[in-house]
Amino acid sequence: MLVNILVSIFGILIFLFLFWKRLKEDYSPEIIFKVCFYILVGTGAGWALSIILFPVWFFWLAFSGGVLGFVIAFFLLKVKFYETLEAFIIGFLPWLSLIFLQNSVETSSLSSFLGFLAILILTFVSYYFDTHYKKFNWYRSGRIGFAGLATAGLFFLTRLILAIFKVPVLSFVGIDEIVISGILMIVSFVLLFNLGKSKK
């Protein structure tokens, strides 16, 4: 239990730092941490619900709660959609990787360790996208948000492929995983496509 708490606190601190770092040029610390508050409360509520009723769905319920918190913050605080969504995605990945790492250590699970490595790789991929996306000729708009949406699309694509081949991974929910991950992968890439066409 103590290890779980420490991992959660460390993950939250990393999320807060990365979220603040992404948005510090556009918003005051007060606005940034209000957005974080909504996201973290939503994530916590989803996590608590999963523990009580649906343990297997802990990832999707926590993720859905975080997204709901983001949506509420977007409407209440009038923050920029794509920039804030990107900060949410990039801040969420390291936190999730710690959960997989913890599980791999506690249960000696190879699949969880590979999940940790996969998310870690995606984190570096997001950094690459973030520093090079303006050089992509086909990405005409040059707007911020490419790194977050591209990384999210790859993340859900990875989950989709693993679910199709029935690889046992922490947080997978059987056949439903294919449907949910597939839908979110499509949504991520459609949003990316629309962002690439839109004007600054």
> Is the model's pLDDT at 68 over the cut of 70?
yes
pLDDT in tens, 17-66: 999 999 999 999 999 999 999 999 999 999 999 999 998 899 999 999 99
Mean pLDDT calculated for residue range 66-77: 97
Q: What average pLDDT does the structure give for the chain?
A: 92
The per-residue b/e assignment along 152-181, b for 16 or more CB within 10 angstroms, e otherwise, is bbbbbbbbbebbeeeeebbbbbeeebbebb
Asked if the model's pLDDT at residue 198 lies above 70, the reply is no
Question: 175 or 154, which is more confident?
Answer: 154
Distance from C-alpha of 114 to C-alpha of 100, rounded to nearest angstrom:
9
User: Cβ of 17: how many Cβ atoms within 10 Å?
Assistant: 12
Judge contact between 195 and 143, C-beta under 8 A. Answer: yes
Please state the pTM of the whole predicted model. Answer: 0.92
pLDDT band at 136 (very low <50, low <70, confident <90, very high): confident
Predicted confidence (pLDDT) at residue 16 exceeds the cutoff of 90: yes
Provide the pLDDT for residue 199. 60
pLDDT of residue 169: 83
Most confident range (mean pLDDT) of 43-47, 134-138, 174-178 is: 43-47
Percent of the chain exceeding pLDDT 90 equals: 72
Structure tokens at 87: 């900060």
- Tell me what pLDDT residue 143 has: 87
